[in-house]
Amino acid sequence: MKRPLAVFLPFAVCVCLLSGCWSKKELTDLAFVIAVGLDKTEDGKYLASFQVVNPGNVAGAVQRGGGAAGVPVSIYTSTGDSLVEASRKASEKVSRLLYYAHTNLVVVGEEVAREGMDGVFDALERNQQFRTTARLVIARGHSAKDTLSVLTPIDKISANKIIKTLEFSELAWGQTMNADVWWAIRSLASPGRNPVVTGVVIEGNPKEGKRQKNVQSSVPDARVTLKGLALFKHARLIGWADGPTARGIMWVLDRIHQTNLTIPWGGKREAIGYRIVRAKTNVEADVKNGQPSILVHIKAEGDISEARVPINLADTGVLFRLEKQFERGVKQEVAKAIETAQRERTDVFGFGEAVHRADPRLWKKIEKEWHDRYFPELDVTVTADLYIRRTGLRNRPYIEE
């Protein structure tokens, strides 16, 4: 009698502890939100745009004339005084429950970013379904709704196109950053750093980009491309950095993986190309007599990618002069980036964190005035060591003297 009871009792306890399926959600009742766009209406309310996948038009759809049988995504919009209210009100338009566990992209309109992102980040981080690993971009020149509405020809889901472009652009070019929501939140939480976020623009006609024919043409009427880095200060967008200045920021942040530099040579502009294959940046702070200073040291190596002037790449003296010229180019980009950030009074490099590590007591005294008083006057020394590892299959270009 005791043995059957001993066997039955653990099973009875387990049954009592199991929660069952009280919180189940059927797939047919869920609308998978892949991307969220945030704008402001004329009366100051939030305009939330939800990019929802149409499953039947993404997987197994019959190809017709170069495009899918139907539009792969649908855009639903809703307004509210807060993001949560806008999300709840969307239930009036969507026949399913909005599900954010697969949201991979957040597009914030420029107006929302300039007013402040505190409330946006608070709502996103508190949502139990939302993952802070979602990528974050700023819609530049157009609304977030228009950005998400453009259909893309290669990637059926336009949000995936933006995400992949962020990844590969940072790896190959280095003027944009593949940042997520958690990166921005951590940067805002640190008194010694402000976030930078990549901007996205629409090239072409946004209205035509919403139509199915945009993916049925070899030259789409509208494309979503990356452009520049948004500079933030205390959760507010205050300016933009483009081109070499944006890459200078990436150099300091140690986010350069590969890129290409060109320098003048022999009286010709952009004559010699240099492809960087690996790079490392170290940032250190030094405090003397209560005054902090920063040392930025960049070390990189790469190959000669092209030579458009007569030059003997077998000559070690020539290679040495090329390395010095490339080093000057990198230091100029970094110096321009630091000058821009100091003018905007926003430490996007994390120099304040370096000062905190070097002298916690001093940082406690200057923390509150760091961005407006100390950072704009901060002494920053930039050094660079660039090495040419390979010159390619030819030491002498086809171009002759």
Q: Which domain holds residue 222?
A: 27-240
Domain end position, chosen among 213, 240, 267: 240
19 found inside a domain: no
Where does the pLDDT of residue 168 fall: very low under 50, low under 70, confident under 90, or very high at 90 and above?
Answer: very high
State the CATH number of the domain containing residue 283: 3.30.300.210
Q: What are the DSSP E strand ranges found in 319-378?
A: none
Residue 258 token pair: 């590969």
Residue 23 token pair: 């919180």
pLDDT beyond 60 at 171: yes
Residue count of the chain, please give it.
Answer: 401
pLDDT beyond 70 at 19: no
Q: What percent of the chain has pLDDT over 90?
A: 83
Crossing angle of helices 243-252 and 316-344, in 10° steps, is 90
126 SS3 class: helix
Q: What is the mean pLDDT of residues 294-310?
A: 96
Same domain, 185 and 283: no
Residue 189 token pair: 């939480």
Alpha-carbon radius of gyration of the chain: 26
Residue 30 token pair: 């869920």
pTM of the model: 0.92
DSSP character at residue 214? G
**Bridge partners (DSSP) listed for residue 97:** 30
Q: With the CA atoms of 309, 313, 315 and 316 taken in that order, what torsion angle do they form, in degrees rounded to the nearest 10?
A: 120
pLDDT in tens, 61-113: 444 444 445 789 999 999 999 999 999 999 999 999 999 999 999 999 999 99
Whether 355 contacts 277, CB under 8 Å: no
pLDDT beyond 70 at 127: yes
371 found inside a domain: yes
355-364, long-range: CB within 8 Å, 24+ apart, which pairs?
Answer: 355/192, 355/285, 355/287, 355/292, 355/294, 356/192, 357/285, 358/284, 358/285, 358/286, 358/287, 358/292, 359/285, 359/287, 359/292, 362/287, 362/290, 362/292, 363/192
Chain position carrying tokens 């500079």: 231
Same domain, 151 and 81: yes
Within 8 A by CB and 6+ apart from 13, the residues are none
Q: What is the pLDDT of residue 396?
A: 82
210 found inside a domain: yes
pLDDT beyond 70 at 207: yes
Same domain, 249 and 231: no
Same domain, 300 and 345: yes
Same domain, 283 and 143: no
